């Protein structure tokens, strides 16, 4: 069990260790930004390549954490993207007075995204989604001397709280109609009744806010404009990518029995809007 835990969650464990290392560095004497950045680049590169080695399929915690070769590939893509964003913003990061805090928040968000992609039920799904969102709201305000950066953070917090409430309401309806929150058990219990359809609509709406899908995209431009360039890059690529990955997985594995009714619903909405 311990070996499976260490092997299957190696990406998450490495990120957690880096976060604690940054915390200890911050509490200690600290390091020069240039030295700390070079060390972080090496650690992020290690985190990127470990996904290619070792066992890549299994589950932990009674199915709450699930991983497959595809999931490891998705995590590797996100790790590569995070490393590239850090490299491209080297000059800005080197001059920033709060470099350890920046990477602690950034890696906390990435940890949430990794857990989100590997979630096997709606409980870990929701908690991971919040873990991947809240640190980004703090990162959006990392240009501390700019008013529009604070406005961006506030708008993201409010939109995230609203979308999370809608998402959680949808999950509650789905649990009420099926009696389970496990992804593996829910498809056999889904029925195309009004409660289930309403739960799916609210669930999809909550994720649509996270993905900035029209017409739930009105917060996006202000947040992107007010955030630092590194945060905008991370939010627009890495964050959106992780939500897209888990949305595709959930639609395929959990809601596949409802596909015919959902297509009819989409057709009706399309003709109503046109």
Q: What percent of the chain has pLDDT over 70?
A: 91
Q: Which of 131, 135, 115, 12 is nearest to 66 (CA)?
A: 115
Place of tokens 């498809």: 187
Give the span between the Cα atoms of 43 and 48, in whole angstroms: 9
What is the total count of domains within the chain? 1
Q: What is the full per-residue pLDDT of the chain (274 aa) written as tens digits?
A: 566 677 788 888 999 999 999 888 888 776 787 888 888 899 989 888 887 776 677 888 887 888 888 888 889 889 999 999 988 888 888 887 788 888 999 999 999 999 999 988 888 999 999 998 888 888 888 777 777 777 788 888 888 888 888 899 999 998 888 888 888 888 888 887 888 888 888 888 888 888 887 777 777 788 888 788 888 888 888 888 888 888 888 888 888 777 766 666 666 655 555 5
Q: In terms of C-beta density within 10 A (0-12 exposed, 13-18 middle, 19 or more buried), how is residue 144 classed?
A: exposed
pTM of the model: 0.89
Phi, then psi, of 66 in degrees rounded to 5? -130, 140
3-state SS record for 201-229: HHHHHHHHHHHCCCCCCCCHHHHHHHCCH
What distances in angstroms separate CA 81 from CA 9, 40, 125, 213, 269, one per listed residue?
A: 20, 14, 22, 22, 36
What is the domain extent for residue 160? 2-273
């Amino acid at each position: 069990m311990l070996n499976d835990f260490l092997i299957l969650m190696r990406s998450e464990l490495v990120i957690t260790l880096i976060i604690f290392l940054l915390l200890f560095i911050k509490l200690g004497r600290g390091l020069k930004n240039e030295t700390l950045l070079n060390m972080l680049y090496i650690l992020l590169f290690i985190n990127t390549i470990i996904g290619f080695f070792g066992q890549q399929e299994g589950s932990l915690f009674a199915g709450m954490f699930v991983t497959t070769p595809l999931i490891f590939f998705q995590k590797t893509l996100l790790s590569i993207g995070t490393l590239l964003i850090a490299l491209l913003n080297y000059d800005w990061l080197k001059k920033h007075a709060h470099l350890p805090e920046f990477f602690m928040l950034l890696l906390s968000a990435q940890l949430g995204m990794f857990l989100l992609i590997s979630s096997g039920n709606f409980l870990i799904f929701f908690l991971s989604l919040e873990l991947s969102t809240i640190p980004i709201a703090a990162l959006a305000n990392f240009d501390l001397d700019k008013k529009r950066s604070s406005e961006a953070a506030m708008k993201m917090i409010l939109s995230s709280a609203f979308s999370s409430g809608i998402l959680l309401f949808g999950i509650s309806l789905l649990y009420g109609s099926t009696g389970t929150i496990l992804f593996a058990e829910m498809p056999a219990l889904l029925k195309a009744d009004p409660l289930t359809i309403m739960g799916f609509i609210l669930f999809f709406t909550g994720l649509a806010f996270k993905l900035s899908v029209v017409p739930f995209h009105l917060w996006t431009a202000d947040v992107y404009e007010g955030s630092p360039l590194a945060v905008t890059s991370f939010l627009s690529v890495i964050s959106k990518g992780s939500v897209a990955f888990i949305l595709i997985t959930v639609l395929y594995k959990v809601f596949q029995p409802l596909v015919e009714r959902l297509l009819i619903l989409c057709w009706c909405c399309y003709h109503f809007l046109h």
